Amino acid sequence: MAKKVIKRSWAEPFKIKVVEPIKMTTREHREKQIEIAGYNTFLLKSEDVYIDLLTDSGTNAMSDRQWAGMMVGDEAYAGSRNFYHLWDNVKKYYGMPYFVPTHQGRAAEHIISKILIKEGDFVPGNMYFTTTRLHQELAGATFVDVIIDEAHDPKSKHPFKGNIDLEKLKALIEKVGAKKIPYVSIAGPVNMAGGQPFSMQNLRDVYDLCSKHKIKLWFDATRATENAYFIKEREAGYEEKSIPEILKEICSYFEGIWVSAKKDLMVNIGGILATKNKKVFEKAQNMVVVYEGLHTYGGLAGRDMEAMAIGLEEMVEFDNIRARIGQVEYCGKELDKYGVPYVLPIGGHAIFLDAKRILSHLPQDAFPAQTLASEIYVDSGVRGMERGIVSAGRDPETGEHRYPKLELVRLTFPRRVYTQAHIDVAVESIATVYQNRKNITGLKMIYEPEYLRFFQGRFEKL
Ligand code: F0G
């Protein structure tokens, strides 16, 4: 007779071999530090942070295999064997024959934007990402958001909020003409929408529409394995497919990809630019020597490329991705117990607290998400980041603030770093701030840098 299984939870498919001590500080200390940091969590010293949920970028724990790989770094200026190992894996997992390494994702964005965009072009995309849009704008393009409306609604439970609205895309093609659209910029999952995936069906439809107009698709594959996981979980016909199979199919619709390796690949630094187009590759190879380093190291050490090559093998393991996303889901379900509002459905890399609803008494000009992130830090030393009006920046034409519908605080989970107990503490702190929200006053901006102001902007309490 078959045994009755009560429940079988997922658990991390690894155990901990090395630990890094962290320490709790006093509330008084944190009040002082956040003031010194201009109420910007990016400007805090990491030693003053207890649980660091600022980003999952470069903050991952590498495996013993990756660390061992670091020791076989071939630091030759040209033709390092680690470069060739990495290139083989880029071909194997992304299905792209041509590849140049870069020091991180935005370096690849810089190079590809300069190669593909002409002054006066339009680049449609499924919501903006900060560095991606900036490089497209610096290269002379206007970015046009063609994501479905549901993506801008934190309450919508649409399973694929990263989808492109075909009508919006068609309207843009009609308005400006296909010749002015060098490519469609697609990310998955969409970071600024709350880590929301696109569906394979939507991607196929976009591909068909664009093929008719001879417009290419380019993919920000920074967290592509998470998108593949959601397709497997949510889209009919993909239940039995493996993550590498789904990833390969996704990439098959694109002419090329850029990747911040600091996420999916579970390393601390690195970027990838890869394509099927030999001419674009040759230009990229040439540009990388101007901005990054020789085309066989692109601003990285040989050991970094080895860690990336091994990271590529580990990132597609189903149990790894399930545990990663499982941790984010766990955090969301714990927050539900206290009624704290966040973006639905729960995303791949982070929980996005809905600061607009939490601090509904503050106007967007008083920077509710910036305020909430600093209040949570003061309460417990948990560090998140603003993803709202500050991140959205100013309209380059009018110079006015952009007022995004989403005003969020992102709590991002580094891969393989924190335990469920850390999440419990973070949730308790957020719930405490939530329960005392009515007493919170907003901020005013006192220093604003020209580019990507969320990194270095400074604020004062109103
Ligand atoms: N694309 C996406 C979707 C990203 O999330 C990032 C970085 C980049 C490109 C740029 O890559 O940092 O290696 O230069 N996101 C980080 C974050 C900074 O915290 O979300 P990078």
Per-residue pLDDT tens over the stretch 236-270: 999 999 999 999 999 999 999 999 999 999 999 99
Cβ–Cβ contacts within 10 Å for residue 24, how many? 11
Distance 236 CA to ligand 1 centre (A): 30
- Helix H, strand E, coil C: the string for 228-293 is HHHHHHHCCCCCCCCHHHHHHHHHHCCCEEEEECCCCCCCCCCEEEEECCHHHHHHHHHHHHHHCC
Distance 2 CA to ligand 1 centre (A): 48
CATH number of 27-56+318-461: 3.90.1150.10
Longest dimension (CA), the chain: 72
Q: Which atom of ligand 1 is nearest to the CA of 58?
A: 13
**Confidence band, pLDDT 50/70/90 cuts, at residue 5:** confident
Instruction: Note if 455 is an active site residue.
Output: no
The Cα 348–Cα 75 span in angstroms is 35
**Confidence band, pLDDT 50/70/90 cuts, at residue 3:** confident
Q: What is the pLDDT of residue 2?
A: 77
Q: What is the pLDDT of residue 209?
A: 98
442: pLDDT strictly greater than 90: yes
Residue with the smallest CA separation from ligand 1 atom 13 is 105
Distance 5 CA to ligand 1 centre (A): 41
Mode of pairing for the β-strands spanning 408-412 and 385-387: antiparallel
Q: Which atom of ligand 1 is nearest to the CA of 106?
A: 14
Q: Which atom of ligand 1 is nearest to the CA of 104?
A: 13
Give the pLDDT confidence of 172-224 residue by residue, as tens digits. 999 999 999 999 999 999 999 999 999 999 999 999 999 999 999 999 999 99
The Cα 110–Cα 119 span in angstroms is 15
Distance 415 CA to ligand 1 centre (A): 15
Give the pLDDT confidence of 34-62 residue by residue, as tens digits. 999 999 999 999 999 999 999 999 999 99
300: pLDDT strictly greater than 80: yes
Q: What is the pLDDT of residue 181?
A: 98
Q: What is the pLDDT of residue 252?
A: 98
CATH number 3.50.50.60 given to 65-315: no
> Span 78-99, mean pLDDT?
98
Distance 428 CA to ligand 1 centre (A): 28
The Cα 102–Cα 135 span in angstroms is 15
Q: What is the pLDDT of residue 159?
A: 98
The Cα 161–Cα 126 span in angstroms is 9
Q: What is the pLDDT of residue 446?
A: 97
363: pLDDT strictly greater than 90: yes
Residue with the smallest CA separation from ligand 1 atom 2 is 222
Q: Which atom of ligand 1 is nearest to the CA of 131?
A: 10
Q: What is the pLDDT of residue 12?
A: 95
1: pLDDT strictly greater than 80: no
> Span 129-146, mean pLDDT?
97
Instruction: Note if 121 is an active site residue.
Output: no
State what percent of residues in the chain have pLDDT above 90: 98
296: pLDDT strictly greater than 80: yes
343: pLDDT strictly greater than 90: yes
The better pLDDT of the pair 8, 33 is held by 33
Pocket-forming residues, ligand 1, beta carbon under 6 Å: 55, 57, 104-106, 129, 131-132, 187, 191, 220, 222, 260, 262, 271
332 DSSP assignment:
H
Closest CA to 227 of 307, 161, 168: 161
Domain ranges of the chain: 27-56+318-461, 65-315
93: pLDDT strictly greater than 90: yes
